[in-house]
Amino acid sequence: MERIEVATRSRTQAIDITGQVQEVVSRSATKSGIVAVFSAHTTAGVTINENADPDVMSDVMEALARLVPRSGPYAHVEGNSDAHAKSGLVGHSVLVPVEDGKLELGTWQGIYFCEFDGPRRRQVVVQVLAAG
Ligand code: ZN
């Protein structure tokens, strides 16, 4: 198991961590298996989406902002309920198959860490599970 450090720079931000996840898989020397990528935070998430056109992830983040407004009415006194709700919508983990030591992502897919209450220093847990 390894932790990827992610330093986010704004309140909401999607960061492509595909390369760092592949590095963990490569260091593990696992040829075939699965990798779990997990965000240990309640105001951030992990997802897979297109990494060819950067407008896609900015559109997704904007769509989430329209879906879950910054201001409530919310009860949570910390004032970041929108971030908690977006975190729940996006989810906290993804699983990606590994074959020949490589992430078996689709041609246009990348793994994204989604910040909803930054800027903060975040940690993403990456666990590689070898098959057989
Ligand atoms: Zn909170």
Q: Compute the distance from residue 41 Cα to the ligand 1 centre, in Å.
A: 10
- Cα of 49 vs centre of ligand 1, distance in Å, is 26
123 CA to centre of ligand 1 in angstroms: 17
Q: Encode 61-84: b = buried (16+ Cβ within 10 Å), e = exposed.
A: beebeeebeeeeeeeeeeebbbbb
| CA of residue 79 to ligand 1 center, whole Å | 6
Sorted by where each starts, the structural domains of the chain and their CATH numbers stand as: 2-130 (2.60.120.460)
Kindly list the protein residues that place their beta carbon closer than 5 angstroms to ligand 1, a single-atom ion: 78, 80
Q: What pLDDT tens digit does each residue of the chain (132 aa) get?
A: 999 999 999 999 999 999 999 999 999 999 999 999 999 999 999 999 999 999 999 999 999 999 999 998 999 999 999 999 999 999 999 999 999 999 999 999 999 999 999 999 999 999 999 997
Look at the pTM and tell me if it is higher than 0.85: yes
